[in-house]
Amino acid sequence: MKDIFILGIETSCDETSASVVKNGRQVLSNVISSQISLHQKYGGVVPEIASRKHVELIMPVIHQSLEEAGIKMEQLDAIGVTYGPGLVGALLVGLSAAKALAFALGKPLIGVHHIEGHIAANYIEHSMLEPPFVCLVASGGHSHIVYVEDYDSFEIMGKTRDDAAGEAFDKVSRAVGLGYPGGPIIDKTAKLGNSKAIEFPRVHFGGDSLDFSFSGLKTSVLNYLNTMEQKGEKYSVEDVCASFQAAVVDVLTDNLVSAAKIKGVGKVALAGGVAANSLLRSELMEKSKRSGLEVFYPKPILCTDNAAMIACAAYYEFLKGHTSDVYLNAVPGLKLGER
């Protein structure tokens, strides 16, 4: 059987990334140029700055990924690229490069949904993993519980009704003066605190709903900080971080385990930036063990935005014959399952 080489391109937010993946699961290169240092002083990603940096970096990153993989452009079988959701200006940079390469090389162009890419990161990490399973996709922009019925078949079972989990981490981190990005900073700080020191709310909607809500939790943290400051009392940043993180993780893991029970599957997975959180991983392992579930999650580098996951997702689209034409456009608000 002929080997299939896919070039993946990812520019949905503030990482410029290109990767060559062989047969869907073997990563030959995964070049990621992060812009975190550029955006830190603003407390979050500035879309215009992100877009300009993508323009500067996209071709050097692509060339580096091909060089590291030891692959010539002519050997590629297809070009996979994120076309949504994400920042429209950032997406357009990756799309423009991908379309130009696909046209010049006469290779198929494959548009990839960013969330499907995050889910596919698990296939790279776990070569034996196959659908069906239930996956929690948690990041700065998304909090979804997804039933992965097949490589190209997805059902959203639950999602946030307001703030995404990663967004809540960023906002709380800023509120306690720890800066951006909030996820890894809070994870590290929480290890020094008491997760039972402050009782922050856990939102469960009841009934069959597996939706999330983190806006009230974020407000509860802010109210606690304001109350302590007005009273002139000191508070422990470590305890705030630990208690906040525990509240987020409790809801995420409870709903994910419930989703697996509803679908009658024995496998659960994590994906997205928040999937790198150490408490989330340990809590899910513990709750899944009690429920007889097998747990999968990618290594931290594959939890961040990266092109290897895009190339992996593109591979399965390629096998199904799903390709895009040169009129493919960026869709910043693309829904999961839309084509």
What CATH code is carried by the domain that includes residue 56?
A: 3.30.420.40
Tokens of 108: 């198929």
Does residue 283 share a domain with residue 156? Answer: yes
User: Does one domain contain both 253 and 225?
Assistant: yes
Has residue 278 been placed in a domain? yes
The predicted pLDDT at position 308 comes to 98
For the chain, helix (H) and strand (E) counts, in that order, are: 11, 10
Among 40-49, 66-75, 162-171, 269-278, the least confident range: 40-49
pLDDT band of 117, cuts 50, 70, 90: very high
On whether both 14 and 142 belong to a single domain, the answer is no
Beta pairing class for 109-113 and 133-138: unpaired
- Is 277 annotated among the ligand-binding residues? yes
DSSP state letter for 160:
B
- List the 78-84 sheet strands across, edge first: 26-34, 15-22, 5-10, 78-84, 109-113
284 in Cβ contact with 300 (< 8 Å): no
24 known ligand binder: no
What was the pLDDT predicted at 48? Answer: 77
> Is 334 domain-assigned?
no
- Are 147 and 288 contained in the same domain? yes
Looking at every residue in the chain, the average pLDDT score rounds to 93
Kindly report the backbone phi and psi dihedral angles of residue 8, in degrees, each rounded to the nearest multiple of 5, phi listed first: -105, 145
88, 185: one domain? no
Please say whether the beta carbons of 112 and 121 come within 8 A.
no
Most distant CA pair in the chain: distance in Å?
Answer: 71
Residue type, 173: S
DSSP track, 204-241: ---TT---B--HHHHHHHHHHHHHHHHHT----HHHHH
Residues linked to residue 112 through DSSP beta bridges, in sequence order: 82
Domain identity same for 169 and 279: yes
* Pair (39, 112) in one structural domain: yes
Same domain, 147 and 250: yes
CA 295 remoteness from chain centre: 17
Task: For tokens 């162009």, name the residue.
Answer: 109
Structural domain range at position 32: 5-119+303-320
Within-domain flag for 333:
no
Shared-domain flag, residues 34 and 152:
no
Ligand-binding annotation for 208, yes or no, is: no
Percent of the chain residues topping a pLDDT of 70? 98
Domain count within the chain? 2
Cα 108 from Cα 99, distance rounded (Å): 9
Give domain status of residue 336, yes or no.
no
Separation between Cα atoms, residue 118 and residue 268, nearest integer Å: 14
Do 52 and 107 sit in the same domain of this protein? yes
Q: Is 139 annotated as a binding residue?
A: yes
Task: Identify whether residues 16 and 70 lie together within a single domain.
Answer: yes
Per residue in 249-286, pLDDT (tens digit) is 999 999 999 999 999 999 999 999 889 999 999 999 99
3-state SS, residue 273: helix
By CB atoms closer than 10 A (0-12, 13-18, 19+), residue 289 is exposed
Of 268, 2, 303, the residue nearest 133 (C-alpha): 268
What is residue 153's three-state secondary structure? Answer: strand
pLDDT tens by residue, 141-194: 789 999 999 999 999 999 999 988 989 999 999 999 998 888 899 999 999 999
141 is in an annotated binding site: yes
Residue 41's pLDDT band, with cuts at 50, 70 and 90, is low
Task: Answer whether residue 338 is part of any domain.
Answer: no
- DSSP symbols for 39-96: HGGGTS--HHHHHHHHHHHHHHHHHHHHHHHT--GGG--EEEEEEESS-HHHHHHHHH
Task: Verify that 136 and 285 share a domain, yes or no.
Answer: yes
Residue 326 lies in a domain: no
Q: Look at residue 10 and tell me if it is in a domain.
A: yes
Known binding residue 118? Answer is yes
Dihedral, CA of residue 35, residue 39, residue 44 and residue 48, to nearest 10: -80
pTM: 0.91
Instruction: Give the pLDDT band of residue 34 (cuts 50, 70, 90).
Output: confident
Q: Residue 136 falls within a domain, yes or no?
A: yes
> Is 14 known to sit in a ligand binding site?
no
Given strand 153-159, what is the order of strands in its sheet? 153-159, 143-150, 133-138, 267-271, 294-296
